[in-house]
Amino acid sequence: QVQLVESGGGLVQPGGSLRLSCAASGFTFSSTTMSWHRQAPGKEREWVASIISPYSSTNYADSVADRFTISRDNAKNTVYLQMDFLKPEDTAVYYCSAWIQRAYWGQGIQVTVSS
């Protein structure tokens, strides 16, 4: 079955960096569009970035476009989100998702940006 497992979250100071990873299994990873979403306390889940198969083109939300980078390693069935110049408003639970006729979600991982 489809499994998505996020890792790499934690507490970081404003201006710092984190790299999230999402290990995928149960489907053909290399031909699947992968995305990251996030949900801040009291807010709806919002889309952050996508990497689109088969050419690995990328799209970003305006709020992160000049600070975050999505990438993938098809040999490791893993998608990454490099987050630089983090701001307190980036604090949220981050979710990895795979689009396979419908969206599949990981369990989410907490990212807290605070001094």
Using an 8 Å Cβ cutoff, are 80 and 20 in contact?
yes
Pair 16, 86: CB distance under 8 Å: yes
Alpha-carbon gap, residue 59 to 70, rounded angstroms: 9
Which pLDDT score, from 0 to 100, does residue 90 have? 98
| Residue bearing tokens 């979250």 | 9
- pLDDT (0 to 100) of residue 47: 98
- Return all residues near 57 (Cβ < 8 A) that are at least 6 apart: 51
The per-residue pLDDT for range 12-39, each reduced to its tens digit, is 999 999 999 999 999 999 999 999 999 9
The Cα–Cα gap between 92 and 8 comes to 13
Those residues of the chain that have pLDDT short of 50 are none
17's tokens: 């960096």
